[in-house]
Every structure is written in C-alpha cells, then in structure tokens.
A and B are shown apart, each in its own frame.
Chain A
Amino acid sequence: MSTGFEPKIIGFLCRWCSYPGADLAGTSRIKYSPNMIPIRVMCSGRVDPSFVIKALNDGADGVLIAGCHPPTDCHYQSGNIKAMRRYPLLMRMLEQFGIEKERVRLEWISASEGPKFAQVVEEMSDTIRQLGPLGWRKDAVE
C-alpha cells in the first residue's frame, strides 16, 4: 500500500572504505532507492551515538553507519571496532525510547563492494518505507 512516503536516511560513510564503495555503486550505474543522504566521516569510529540521535531528531527516518570490515581494514586500526562497541549501547537506548531497531543499521562495506552498498540502501529504504515516518519532532526540518 503506497502512501507516497519516501524515507529520508542519513548515511555516515567512512572516508576510506564505505564512501568509495558508494562511489563505486554510482560509477557502476547500479540503480537503487535514492533515499540516502551521504555524510562522509574519516572513520566509522567518529560517529558518536549523539550524531545518530541528532539525525533522527532533525527529521531523518533512518540512519546508516558504514565502515571498513573489522578486524583489519580500518585505516586507523580499531576505529571500526569502537563503532561496533557503541552499537549495542545505541540500539538499547533507541529500543528504550520506542524507536524501532530497523531504523539504525551498522554495516561493513568495503571500497570494492558497490553492489553491497546499493543492496543495503535498497533494503533499508524498503524496511523504513514499511515502518513509516519517525515523526519524532513535529517541527522537524523537511
């Protein structure tokens, strides 16, 4: 049932692996739902849980955090592992506040995984389309 709602997903992509992975999806002309807005960070470990909260608060319906594959691919050795450690904390927090788990996802996407990137975004867009808008704040930025 289509209500015409298109989710807005913020993607925090790491500069060394995930962002080039996203670029590869583009240069390969892979078609996927255009619902994600990329934000390049130097490392997935840069993503503080408060960024995710702020994104959701400011109008995003979902957040993707993508980084290099643990344990060996992180350009800064273990930034991705720290991102991984923050994830259970973040998810439990969101769960407590009544935000569906499916809205926030942590993925490992390397620079050569263009198709994987497209698939992840496609899946997330689909899932969140079903869940509906988050509607956290009434005056959220459009």
Chain B
Amino acid sequence: MRGDMVLAWSPDEEILEQAECGGAVTSLLKFALESKRVDAVLAIKARDGNRYDGVPALIANPEEVINTAGALHCVSPNIARCLKEYLDGAFDVKIAVTCRPCDARAIIELAKRNQIEMENLILVGLNCTGTLHPVTAKQMLREEFGVDPDDVIREDIEDGKLTIGLKDGTEIEKDLAELEEKGYGRRENCRRCEVGIPRMADIACGKWGANGRKATFIEVCSQKGADFIEEAIQVGAINVEHPDSEAVETREAKDREAIDSARKWQEQDFVDLRGMSIEERFTYWTGQFSQCIKCFGCRDACPICYCLDCYLEADRGLVTEGQVPPDITFPIIRIMHVADSCVNCGQCQDACPAEIPLARLVHMLNRELGAVFKYEPGMDVSAPPPLGTVTEEELDMAGVGISLS
C-alpha cells in the first residue's frame, strides 16, 4: 500500500557485502529481471571499476546486476536523457530504473510531454543528499583529504559530514560545509535541492531510518511499487521487517535537516543575483553569456528540452547562424522555454564548457514562478506544465489583473 514502509535487506551474502545499505535495491532489480517484470534494468556502474567514471548500464542478465551495487557519489549521469534518447523513451521495452529524485522528476516531466512511457518503467527511487563532480572530487581528495583518489572505496554524506573509506580500511571525515565554502563538496544544484526522498518514484530507498544497521529503508510510493515489493517479499527476494517509530522519526528528522540546509544554500546562491541593481544585472549576465560558445550542450543535456524542431537552431530565424558568441537571445530563449519546469538537475551547468552558472539562474526563476503558477515540476505526472494549460478558474474569471509581486 502506498505509504507503507519496510526495512529490507538482501538474502544474498555477496550482494550484502558490496551493498551501500542492505542490498535491497540490487536484490529488487535482480528480482525484477528474474520474474520477467522487466526486460532490462538501467542502473549506474563504475566503468572498469573506476568510481569517478559512472555510466548508465543497461543490464538484461540478472547475474550482472551485482556490478551496480554500492552507491557512487562522485558521478552524476543524466538518466532521464539516456532513457529518452538511447532507449527510445522506453516505449517498446520494460525497464526498472534506479533514479535519484532529480532523475525521477526529469522522467516525469518528460512523460508529461509524451517522451517517456511510464507504464513500462519501474522507478526505483534512491534517497539522495547530493553527488560530486568527478573532477572536483578527485581534486578535493588530493588536496583536502590528502589521499590518492584511487584508494577510495566508498563515500558517505551524513549529518553534515563527508566521510571517505579507503582500501586499507581507514576512514577520514570532514565537515561538508567547510569543504563547500572552499569550492569543494557537492554539485551546486545538489546543495540547493530540497527533494531528498524520491516519493514521486514507485519506491524510495535509502539508509535514513536504518539506524546503523545494514538495511535499506524502503517507502512504497505507488500502487505499482506496492505490488512490486509485495511480490518480492513473497518469493523471498528480500527479507523485511517493520521499522519502529524511532526509525521512521529519524528518517523524517534527517529529511528536515537536509531541507533546511538546502534552503540556506538557495538563499546564499541567489542572494547576490537578487541583490544586484538593474544595471549590474545587465552587465553581469551579458558578461557571463559573452563566454557562450553556442555548443548547445545545455540544450542537449536538459531533460525538459525535447522539441524536435528547436527554436534555437538557425533555420528558425531567431538565432543568427554562425555567430559565436551568440546574441544573448540564445541563452535567454532556452531558459524561458524551460524555466517553468526546471527540476534542478544541474545537467546544463555541468555540460557548459564556459562554466556559466545556468542552473543557478533557471532554478532561481523556477522557484519564483512556482509561487505564481503553484506548480512543482516533476512531482505528479497528471499535473500538466503551466505554460501549456489553462484552468477552469481562469476561463471563468472576469477583469483579469496580473500581479507580479
């Protein structure tokens, strides 16, 4: 039933050893394949064992799922785009997808635009408090932790601390906020993210609430998720027990802390932009965008950008062909088209070779528009994007006045 919670762990010793928590996610993915509920599983794998090179892996053989066990915090692949572009939106294949909240939200936004077939997906949501850029992570490990990045076998972000585990068994812990003040730590948009528990997926899995035990706390978030978990329990794919109220409370408390921290970061990231005067803003952004080389990386990476006939291409007449850096129209148009539905995945800023703070700008606009449109992107597949819809109330009202406050 939706809202049900269980503490789960894998019955398989090998999975349990490699797992981040209880190995339940790995076992569930295996079960999904073995029971033929899905044709394949889409998860992240460390390519050639390199923790800083995490790639989406499509797996059809249940025995190979174990290669994706364990959380990789130093990578941030674009799962939603991968599904849409390389797996044809899952229209003709059933897939179980492991997804962070931003991935799940992006998938839902694409589903609203008929780019992904959610009926064919099982969204195995993963709790997330943020990931790191591989390059920043490696630099941080060398300079702040004083270790060789290749010696790291696990990372953990908990209670404001970043802890790394090395091959030789030692652990080093550092204060996350301090690291982030120095420019290390999590990706910028991750720091601002308030959505740590992917309740918009079918199940939400994580370590909050496991309270030190090697178990995965699973919250059932949809009927599909409920059926999936029930069957998995019945055939013994995972072992479960009911979490006590302390576990549930701990989880809630950690979520609240994460949200508080995210809001502080939002304020911090946006305060400079909001505080600028009109002239300063103009100078700032024209300066930033004068570094744009029109690589289209932002557009190609953004999960919301799905148009086959993009407005930004030269043949649409809005952007001048062959002009680099492009007019400021180029980034402005792109941002305006996605701002109402931005899920703060940060892929645009990651993709930008000129390191323009794109995600910061769009996320800030999206937060303000969320209040105007009363719309949260990526949460409910049945809530249509605001710019393309009209409500009954609007059709009934008279004397329309627009307030921008």
**Which A residues are within 8 Å of any B CB, using their own CB?**
48-50, 53-54, 57, 69-71, 77-78, 81-82, 84-93, 95-101, 106, 108, 136-137
With beta carbons under 8 angstroms apart, the residue of B279, B387, B388, B394 that contacts A71 is: B394
**Distance A57 CA – B278 CA, assembled complex (angstroms):** 17
**Distance A101 CA – B405 CA, assembled complex (angstroms):** 12
B283 close to chain A: CB less than 8 A: yes
Contact call B285/A92, Cβ cutoff below 8 A = no
Q: Write 30 A-B pairs (CB below 8 A) sorted by A numbering.
A: A49-B337, A50-B311, A50-B318, A50-B333, A53-B329, A57-B328, A57-B329, A78-B394, A84-B394, A85-B386, A85-B390, A86-B387, A87-B402, A88-B402, A89-B340, A89-B369, A89-B387, A92-B368, A92-B404, A93-B332, A93-B336, A95-B281, A96-B273, A96-B281, A96-B365, A98-B278, A98-B279, A98-B280, A108-B400, A136-B328
Instruction: Name B335's closest neighbour in chain A (CB-CB).
Output: A93
**Complex contacts, B281 vs chain A, CB 8 Å:** 95-98
Instruction: Name B395's closest neighbour in chain A (CB-CB).
Output: A71
Instruction: Name A71's closest neighbour in chain B (CB-CB).
Output: B395
**Distance A106 CA – B404 CA, assembled complex (angstroms):** 12
**Complex contacts, B388 vs chain A, CB 8 Å:** 82
**Known A-B contacts A96-B273, A137-B327; A85 and B373 likewise in contact (beta carbons under 8 Å):** yes
**Which B residues are within 8 Å of any A CB, using their own CB?**
273, 276, 278-285, 311, 318, 327-329, 332-333, 335-337, 339-340, 361, 364-365, 368-369, 372-373, 386-388, 390, 394-398, 400, 402, 404
**Distance A99 CA – B283 CA, assembled complex (angstroms):** 11
**Known A-B contacts A85-B373, A89-B369, A91-B404; A97 and B282 likewise in contact (beta carbons under 8 Å):** yes
**Distance A48 CA – B329 CA, assembled complex (angstroms):** 13
Contact call B402/A106, Cβ cutoff below 8 A = yes
With beta carbons under 8 angstroms apart, the residue of B280, B283, B390, B404 that contacts A81 is: B390
**Complex contacts, A96 vs chain B, CB 8 Å:** 273, 281, 285, 361, 364-365
**Known A-B contacts A71-B396, A88-B369, A96-B365; A82 and B336 likewise in contact (beta carbons under 8 Å):** no
**Complex contacts, B337 vs chain A, CB 8 Å:** 49-50
Instruction: Name B280's closest neighbour in chain A (CB-CB).
Output: A98
**Distance A95 CA – B383 CA, assembled complex (angstroms):** 28
Contact call B394/A81, Cβ cutoff below 8 A = yes
**Complex contacts, B365 vs chain A, CB 8 Å:** 89, 92-93, 96
**Distance A95 CA – B279 CA, assembled complex (angstroms):** 10
**Complex contacts, B361 vs chain A, CB 8 Å:** 96
Besides A78-B390, A82-B387, 4 new A-B residue pairs in contact (Cβ under 8 A), listed by A number? A50-B332, A70-B397, A88-B404, A108-B400
**Complex contacts, A77 vs chain B, CB 8 Å:** 395
**Distance A98 CA – B284 CA, assembled complex (angstroms):** 9
Contact call B395/A81, Cβ cutoff below 8 A = yes
**Complex contacts, A101 vs chain B, CB 8 Å:** 404
Contact call A78/B400, Cβ cutoff below 8 A = no
Contact call B400/A70, Cβ cutoff below 8 A = yes
Instruction: Name B368's closest neighbour in chain A (CB-CB).
Output: A92
**Complex contacts, B398 vs chain A, CB 8 Å:** 71
Contact call A98/B285, Cβ cutoff below 8 A = yes
Instruction: Name A93's closest neighbour in chain B (CB-CB).
Output: B336
**Distance A97 CA – B364 CA, assembled complex (angstroms):** 13
Instruction: Name B391's closest neighbour in chain A (CB-CB).
Output: A81
**Distance A86 CA – B339 CA, assembled complex (angstroms):** 11
With beta carbons under 8 angstroms apart, the residue of A82, A92, A93 that contacts B390 is: A82
**Distance A71 CA – B273 CA, assembled complex (angstroms):** 36
Contact call A78/B329, Cβ cutoff below 8 A = no
**Complex contacts, A92 vs chain B, CB 8 Å:** 339, 365, 368-369, 404
**Distance A137 CA – B177 CA, assembled complex (angstroms):** 41
**Complex contacts, B285 vs chain A, CB 8 Å:** 96-98
Contact call A71/B280, Cβ cutoff below 8 A = no
Contact call B282/A98, Cβ cutoff below 8 A = yes
**Known A-B contacts A71-B397, A92-B365; A50 and B336 likewise in contact (beta carbons under 8 Å):** yes
Whole-angstrom distance between the Cβ of A39 and the nearest chain B Cβ: 14
Whole-angstrom distance between the Cβ of A87 and the nearest chain B Cβ: 6
**Distance A78 CA – B387 CA, assembled complex (angstroms):** 12
Interface pairs A-B: 4 shortest CB-CB: A98-B282, A98-B281, A50-B333, A78-B390
Whole-angstrom distance between the Cβ of B87 and the nearest chain A Cβ: 31
Whole-angstrom distance between the Cβ of B142 and the nearest chain A Cβ: 37
**Distance A101 CA – B403 CA, assembled complex (angstroms):** 13
**Complex contacts, B394 vs chain A, CB 8 Å:** 70-71, 78, 81, 84
Whole-angstrom distance between the Cβ of A35 and the nearest chain B Cβ: 22
Whole-angstrom distance between the Cβ of A47 and the nearest chain B Cβ: 12
Contact call B400/A93, Cβ cutoff below 8 A = no
Whole-angstrom distance between the Cβ of A12 and the nearest chain B Cβ: 15
**Distance A53 CA – B361 CA, assembled complex (angstroms):** 17
**Distance A106 CA – B328 CA, assembled complex (angstroms):** 23
**Distance A140 CA – B217 CA, assembled complex (angstroms):** 59
